[in-house]
Structure 1
């Protein structure tokens, strides 16, 4: 089936076609770029919510409860769950379809597990693109749940309109989160499993830590207690997320945040394409093995060798050739 046909079927509501489009995008397939180009004008309408926190705090259970609440309100939901990678297959080890079985047959919910594939930032490299596909497909709310890697999760701030930090009582998570820099990116805080340990103390700790970082403008991040397994407090937490969106809209910050995201997206693509082109020129130039040997013998340091390769690749006639435009490809 052609890419155009897949796009048409996905926009008409086919989950199978949507899954195939996401696979093309996630795998870095050349057709995936065509998919993103076709869908880009339709994206930018969904609420993007990043959910992060240490392992075992109940992020998936919370997202499950929020999804149920949103569906009762008539909204459609996309879930991008970023899981650790299998060292053998590169695929996701944890299956969020297993953890969210209640929604597996709901046509208004689409769940996609993605692998980090060794990426250190908590988000899989194609996460933003997958969220864009779901956005263009018409889902009202998209949750981006990151792998619980702790200190590396700060990059979720660039993926969502609202970032939710999930913690639990009794494990010193608040202090650890402060050390990791996570406290600075949260726009709403959830203390889950509030029926265990001293939840009130954890709320007080988070509130105190937030007061030590007052440079947040007029928004004061709420701290909400929940017991996600019984959906206790989960609607209050969802209300806090929705309040943050209203705040962004009222102050013109949502558009600014999304413009910043597009700017970062352009830079990410430039970085990726420039790296690929430079490495291709370097490999074809045949100098890499020679310089590696000189570095091994101590005649050069790695930085100087890299500078030589970059200088040579920049001076190569092939580096000045721009790739054919889409119009040229079609002519």
Structure 2
């Protein structure tokens, strides 16, 4: 098969790639992910062909500060899934390096035992610097793993910055990993990450200070620093987000709609020894069942689709504006005549729409 970009792949080559992807062939999965990382027409066409086959995998995001043992945790979770006869696709997200290597590669060495397992696929992904590019490419890659038939898709992020928040906001279940001995512990995990957690994992729980970290997390939850309005930013049907009071709580709101709320559990693990992994996997499955039974899974995925469409529209409109013949002239004129940026943006937007309508090819913009 050609190693050239997707646009140079023949129709027969595309059909062959899709067939091999459906058989979960490692090379085909890797090539398909490379296509979506490049972006452009190939990405859109490939996702269009497989999207109807998505929505079946359990998609889990794992995030937390460096040194929390996330890679080991992912490795153990994948092993537990394989013991149950389930397949796993793993995406390791590094927002800082354009290549796989260095510290990222060192972290992945612990997953080498899974590398030869045909039921496990592991891929590292890095940002290309594009607006929203990392989250979009990662979500597209997760769709490919889903369409390929993997039972689980696990997305691991390296740090706790905005890129990571964007990435894990697109999954079904978010695990936030805390660990004792990282200084300010809970303060080391940014508020944006804490607020999107579905399950807290206290890893390296055999270390001194584990009880204090667990207590801090419990206090944070009890003080309402978690299930606030607007949680995750896309729960259109639920102004309180998907977290809050537990089922059976005496609060009137919880009694009126108990199934709509999920209080994140705090689970202890020692991933290096495989301790607490089975209960953690069970908690992930309980959360997935809660989402499905409460209708929140459909609400969440609708919101995710809304965000993805908005991101794609922003990228395409901006790209079209920059390629518009009058872009630089408008900037120069605006600078010379002190025209405000809102007026210039409106002018360019109108021009872009007219140009794209004339081309009748807006969906193919790159």
Q: Under a length normalisation based on structure 1, what TM-score does the superposition of the two structures give?
A: 0.86
Structure 2 equivalent of residue 173 of structure 1: 185
**Structure 1 residue 223, shift from structure 2 partner:** 0.5
**Structure 1 residue 259, shift from structure 2 partner:** 2.1
Write out aligned runs for 1:97-112 (5 A).
97-112=108-123
Q: Secondary structure at the match of 2:128?
A: coil
C-alpha distance in structure 2 between counterparts of 1:182 and 1:324, whole Å: 36
**Structure 1 residue 240, shift from structure 2 partner:** 1.6
20 and 156 in structure 1: CA distance in 2 versus 1, 3 angstrom threshold: closer
Check the 8 A contact 1:116/1:125 in 2, yes or no: no
Whether 1:149 aligns to 2:187 is: no
263 and 152 in structure 1: CA distance in 2 versus 1, 3 angstrom threshold: closer
Write out aligned runs for 1:58-137 (5 A).
58-86=69-97, 90-93=98-101, 94-95=104-105, 97-118=108-129, 123-137=134-148
The correspondence for 2:360, drawn from 315, 322, 326, is: 322
The correspondence for 1:309, drawn from 335, 345, 348, is: 348
Measured against aligned partners, the alpha-carbon deviations of 1:141-198 in whole angstroms (never above 9, x if no partner) come to 1001123034553223431110000011132231343x52222110100111222231
C-alpha distance in structure 1 between counterparts of 2:211 and 2:341, whole Å: 53
Q: Secondary structure at the match of 2:89?
A: strand
**Structure 1 residue 320, shift from structure 2 partner:** 4.5
Measured against aligned partners, the alpha-carbon deviations of 1:173-228 in whole angstroms (never above 9, x if no partner) come to 31343x52222110100111222231011001001101122552431111111111
290 and 258 in structure 1: CA distance in 2 versus 1, 3 angstrom threshold: closer
The correspondence for 2:328, drawn from 269, 273, 288, is: 288
C-alpha distance in structure 2 between counterparts of 1:120 and 1:279, whole Å: 14
Structure 2 equivalent of residue 263 of structure 1: 306
Measured against aligned partners, the alpha-carbon deviations of 1:66-107 in whole angstroms (never above 9, x if no partner) come to 000010011000001101343xxx323423653310100000
317 and 101 in structure 1: CA distance in 2 versus 1, 3 angstrom threshold: closer
Whether 1:249 aligns to 2:292 is: yes
**Structure 1 residue 40, shift from structure 2 partner:** 0.8
When the two chains are superposed, the root-mean-square deviation of aligned CA atoms in Å is: 2.6
**Structure 1 residue 254, shift from structure 2 partner:** 1.5
Structure 2 equivalent of residue 183 of structure 1: 194
64 and 277 in structure 1: CA distance in 2 versus 1, 3 angstrom threshold: same
Structure 2 equivalent of residue 211 of structure 1: 222
Q: Which runs of 5+ in 1 are unaligned?
A: 327-331
Q: Under a length normalisation based on structure 2, what TM-score does the superposition of the two structures give?
A: 0.78
Check the 8 A contact 1:85/1:91 in 2, yes or no: no
**Structure 1 residue 42, shift from structure 2 partner:** 0.8
- Indicate the larger mover: 48-57 or 305-314: 305-314
7 and 317 in structure 1: CA distance in 2 versus 1, 3 angstrom threshold: closer
